[in-house]
Amino acid sequence: MEWKIDDSRPIWPQIKEQLMRDIVAGKYPMGSPFPTVRDLAEDAKVNRNTMQRALSELENEGLVITNRTSGRTVTMDENLIKLTRGKIAKEKIVSFRQEMEDMGFTMEEIISLMRGSDSDVEKGE
């Protein structure tokens, strides 16, 4: 997995957000075991404490469950996952749309640009 980490923000929320996206996308299926802190930290090349922090936040939100004996598993609460997915999406959409419109783009322009971003992205600087 590729981790995109931006140095201008604390690392743990960025990791948390990426893991949330992965969970709601089904990359880690409901009820399935979750990788260990050690493995995740090594994979993302961050300190274990940092990864621990991200996971404990996921736990607070109920997306992952810690079993003392058997490590962590993804929640079985399908509803929670759906709600989370919808909530994140809505937040992203609202702020994205707001910022684009602040720059003077109309909805149709935005959609047109998005549709074209497959090819355009490759080109321009």
Partner DNA sequence: GTGGTCTAGACCACA
Partner DNA sequence: GTGGTCTAGACCACG
Task: Give the footprint of a copy of itself on this chain (CB under 8 A).
Answer: 7-10, 13, 18, 21-22, 24-26, 68, 85-90, 92-94, 96-97, 99-100, 102-105, 107, 110-111, 113-115, 117, 120-121, 124-125
Q: Which helix (H) or strand (E) holds 92?
A: helix 78-102
Q: Give 56: exposed, middle or buried? Use CB within 10 Å, 0-12, 13-18, 19+.
A: middle
Element (H, E) at 121: helix 107-123
Binding flag, residue 65, DNA (CB under 7 A)? no
Q: Which is nearer to DNA, 64 or 81 (CB)?
A: 64
Residues binding DNA: number (CB under 7 A):
27
Of the two residues 36 and 59, which places its CB atom closer to a copy of itself in the complex?
59
Q: Is residue 30 within 8 Å of 75, Cβ to Cβ?
A: yes
